[in-house]
Amino acid sequence: MPKIANETDLQYKRRVIDIKSASFCGAKWYNATIWLGSGQTTSCHHPLPHQVSVEQVMVNPKALHNTREKKNDRALMQDGLRPKGCDYCWKIEDMPNPVDVVNPSISDRVYKTVIYEDKDLDEAFNTPPEQDVNLQTLEIAFDRTCQFACSYCNPAFSTTWVRDIHRNGPYTNLVSDGRNHFTHTHDSSQLYTINDVNPYVEAFFKWWESDLHKTLKELRITGGEPLMSGYTWRLIEWFKDHRGESKTRLAINSNLGFEQDKLERLLDATEDIELDLYTSNESIGRHAIYIRDGLDWDQWTSNLVYLLDGRKLRGLHVMCTINALCLISLPEFLWKIVELKKKYGKDSINFSLNILRFPSFQSPLVLPLEVREECISQLLPLGNLSVDTLHEFEINQVGRLVSYLKEVDSPHSGAMTNSILQRDFKNFYEQYDQRRGKDFRHTFPQLAEWYDTL
Ligand code: SF4
């Protein structure tokens, strides 16, 4: 185990990280997100993605991860200097620590380092920066093919969103951040058509088949909707044809918008490996259908039950994106997960609550205070459940959301005023209704009076 017994995060940081340098982070060596459609990569979700050289990956597939930019950053970290792209962490470390006036706040670089073995971190630190390293954890997106067009998503991640913009033109009259998500088709997210040979995808499979499958501990496929991508199935078939040859844990994000036979095919093909399935939802019935355009609520819930009944997964995780429109039925939704936990076991299904910050006009903070307070009062009993029913991290996330809804007044430090965000909220959903054949007032009658005042 990377951490020794009873070691605090700070003690771990001193023992493993600080003795290397003042800015070392294991993610720079061992973790990556790679978008093969656009040929971009980043070390974690904080630094902005950068372009991978197509010429380099054609001669060396490991260049998908070992880019010039990352090698420069590794050299800086070996010297104790701070790569600029990692500002998110430096800002946190430079902030006064509210709970410890002597020691700096712990940033994500500790949490993103602690998952790796000490010996591997030593090796990373001592590797000459120009040398390639093998990934241990990878999130990959093959393409943006998706049959959903959720309101908080955009054309960079969904071909159905692209169709909306192609058919109906850009969304207009939005002024706050995130407006550009909805004004163009984000063609740079998909440099190659389905009929082209994508050199980034080819490089990935070349790397995977030669040695990545031996060293990678965890591979998470995201999208688009990964189960709609032929490349995901090509990879799944590889696992089927090479049973026992890879110890890589596979995780797939899926909207579960399929007939059960597709899931059956997935489970059959992956029965020899550990598979985690991550799906998204955060509200009930017609609310979910409105927010996650393309979703069939009955199909989604019966697919969850199918997966739970099958008990073949290593883990089933529901990712909740906490946006304005889910607040009304979020508590009921979470209670449904509690019911499933009671029936199938606490570990059988987990949830995470990820608070939406962009586009800020869809933040839960745009709602009137009384709507937020009603949600808080319904969330509190969930936060009071014991660890016999929920995991500690789930209870903590409910508590964190309650504090957020109570105390935070702006989605992020650069966000516009609430009245501007509310205007964008209405401008957006008026257009969304027309384009998608939906009806805000009918779906959310509790919000209709307020909505009409905006
Ligand atoms: S230092 Fe922070 S921002 Fe940079 S890769 Fe590590 S966790 Fe990510």
pLDDT digits (tens, 9 = 90+) for 320-342: 999 999 999 999 999 999 999 99
Pick from 25, 29, 31, 115 the residue to mutate for probing ligand 1's pocket: most ligand atoms within 8 Å of its CB: 25
**42, 107, 138, best to mutate for ligand 1 pocket (most atoms within 8 Å of CB):** 107
The confidence score (pLDDT) of residue 168 equals 97
CA-nearest residue for atom 7, ligand 1, is 109
- 346 within ligand 1 shell (Cβ under 6 A): no
Contact 47, 190 (CB under 8 A): no
User: Does 109 contact ligand 1 (Cβ within 6 A)?
Assistant: yes
Is the CB of 27 inside a 6 Å radius of any atom of ligand 1? yes
- The β-bridge partners of 31 are 137
Euclidean distance between CA atoms 248 and 173, whole angstroms: 47
The string of pLDDT tens digits covering residues 369-406 is 999 999 999 999 998 999 999 998 899 889 888 988 99
Query: Quick check: CB of 120 below 6 Å from ligand 1?
Result: no
* Per-residue pLDDT at 79: 98
Q: Which ligand 1 atom is nearest residue 87's CA?
A: 3
Predicted confidence at residue 194, as pLDDT, reads 82
> Which pLDDT does position 392 carry in this prediction?
87
Nearest alpha carbon to residue 257 among 280, 237, 240 = 280
Question: From edge to edge, which strands make up the β-sheet containing 50-51?
Answer: 50-51, 40-42, 31-35, 137-141, 218-222, 249-253, 275-280, 315-322, 350-355
Instruction: For residue 47, give the ligand 1 atom closest to its CA.
Output: 3
pLDDT of the residue at 412:
77
Count CB atoms within 10 A of the CB of residue 385: 15
Atom of ligand 1 nearest to the CA of 111: 7
What is the residue with the minimal CA distance to atom 3 of ligand 1?
86
Question: Per-residue pLDDT tens for 189-213?
Answer: 999 988 899 999 999 999 999 999 9
Which pTM was predicted?
0.92
Q: Residue whose CA is closest, atom 8 of ligand 1?
A: 44
Low-confidence stretches of the chain (pLDDT beneath 70): 1, 97-100
pLDDT at residue 137, as a whole number: 97
CA separation, residue 36 to residues 203, 231, 340 (Å): 9, 11, 36
